[in-house]
Amino acid sequence: MTDAPQKTFTLTNDQTGESTKLPILDGNDGPSVIDVRRLYGQLGHFTYDPGFRATGSCDSALTYIDGEQGILLHRGYAIEDLAARSDYMEVCYLLLHGELPTGDQKTLFESTITHHTMVHDQINNFFRGFRRDAHPMAIMCGVVGALSAFYHDHTDVNSAEDRLISAHRLIAKMPTIAAMAYKYSCGQPFMYPRNDLGYAANFLHMTFGVPAESSEPDPILARAMDKIFILHADHEQNASTSTVRIAGSSGANPYAVIAAGIASLWGPAHGGANEAVLSMLDEIGDKSRINEFVKKAKDPDDSFRLMGFGHRVYKNFDPRAKIMKETADEVLDLMGMSDPRLELARELERIALEDDYFVQRKLYPNVDFYSGIILKAMGFPTEMFTVLFAMARTVGWISQWKEMMENPDGIFRPRQLYTGHKHRPFVDLPKR
């Protein structure tokens, strides 16, 4: 983005005839933006855009999405190439540092992450405070937020070194905490990380391994898991990432900031959708009932929506959904499973994509549509789906936070269109 804008946009108040020229800023790709930062000072108006449908909240060099074409790039690299030819550790390095690592850089990065995989032993006590049936996302919000109490040696948000150490700690410890949340819910002992395994394989080991048996995670499953992590690594300024940036803009510590991101991700309109897709497929139950549910989704008086369909930015296929669909086939083949939900999902997708309602509104399957089916086949309970999303997205959140902190723009403080009472006299209790 250039600092010296050559183009301007003239805005005129039709009532007063007052006008002002607003700079137009060009990014390296995608639509230009009209810089309204000085608008209030010049014309005395704020802009109004609840839901941020047309508002760029920051500049960022991490991730680019072209929603019309179904393109997703991280630091310029296509998600299809990263999923097929890279691995999650490389994608983490790429997001954090801006370039793909060389062989030596990759080895060092992997060993740094590995070095941080264990959590402080006192954290075990934290888990025991939760009910066994607690939702693992509730546990994640609590435990990740509490990490700052354990690692306050390096939480100076103004130090580049501390920011990087916190990033490494978060990327390394999220799988350990996620696996502990799972183990706690089934009453099994926590498994220590195994630093001889790769990131995804170690996570499978901590989740599905038991101390009484020695078992090796299946390398094909570990590769599928790794691919799922890549597909969820970052997605520019979505709700949880914006939450992370807003929380971080106050100077809050990175663990508190990531806990805020986890809370935002939890909702069914965002990361909770993969859990909701599976519940929806179970509720539909049989192909013969698909039309009934499609009709409900189209009814403006019914709040039901086809979960896993639609996206604020993609008005074409979500490129991640295509890869996820292929991965679902691979995983089910490997497991020798045939999940009737996969058949149901395929048929639902076919019917919806031929329906005028979905075609006109450009509603396509999103990344969550097939991910739940794969995760179920791998043995994860439904409540863990959003946890896995949070784990994989941690690198995106922390990279976005790091980018913001390297070039701070002050606290995020949106304005409002006030619709409440004007000033009115206070009435004492006996007179009300």
**Which residues of the chain form contacts with ligand ACO (CB under 6 A)?**
269-271, 273, 297, 305-312, 361, 363, 366-368
Q: Which is nearer to ligand ACO, 202 or 366 (CB)?
A: 366
Print burial letters for 135-160: b (CB count within 10 Å at least 16), e (below 16): bbbbbbbbbbbbbbebbeebbebeee
Q: Cβ-closest residue to ligand ACO? A: 310
In the complex, the smallest distance separating the C-beta of residue 154 from ligand ACO, rounded to whole angstroms, is: 31
- List the catalytic residue out of 270, 329, 339, 355: 270
Is 302 assigned a catalytic role? no
Is 270 assigned a catalytic role? yes
Cβ atoms 58, 409 nearer than 8 A: yes
CA distance linking residue 115 with residue 102, whole number of Å: 20
In the complex, the smallest distance separating the C-beta of residue 279 from ligand ACO, rounded to whole angstroms, is: 12
In the complex, the smallest distance separating the C-beta of residue 318 from ligand ACO, rounded to whole angstroms, is: 7
Q: Which is nearer to ligand ACO, 106 or 305 (CB)?
A: 305
Cβ atoms 298, 312 nearer than 8 A: no
In the complex, the smallest distance separating the C-beta of residue 272 from ligand ACO, rounded to whole angstroms, is: 8
Is 423 assigned a catalytic role? no
- For residue 379, the tally of other CB atoms under 10 A from its CB is 12
Q: Which is nearer to ligand ACO, 310 or 396 (CB)?
A: 310
- Using alpha carbons, select from 231, 244, 167 the residue that is nearest to residue 200: 231
Structure tokens at 104: 């030596």
Q: Which is nearer to ligand ACO, 120 or 346 (CB)?
A: 346
- Bridge partners of 309? 365
Q: Which is nearer to ligand ACO, 260 or 297 (CB)?
A: 297
In the complex, the smallest distance separating the C-beta of residue 229 from ligand ACO, rounded to whole angstroms, is: 14
User: 8 CB contacts (<8 Å, ≥6 apart)?
Assistant: 21, 22, 23, 24
- Using alpha carbons, select from 211, 146, 218, 136 the residue that is nearest to residue 181: 136
- List residues with catalytic annotation: 270, 311, 368
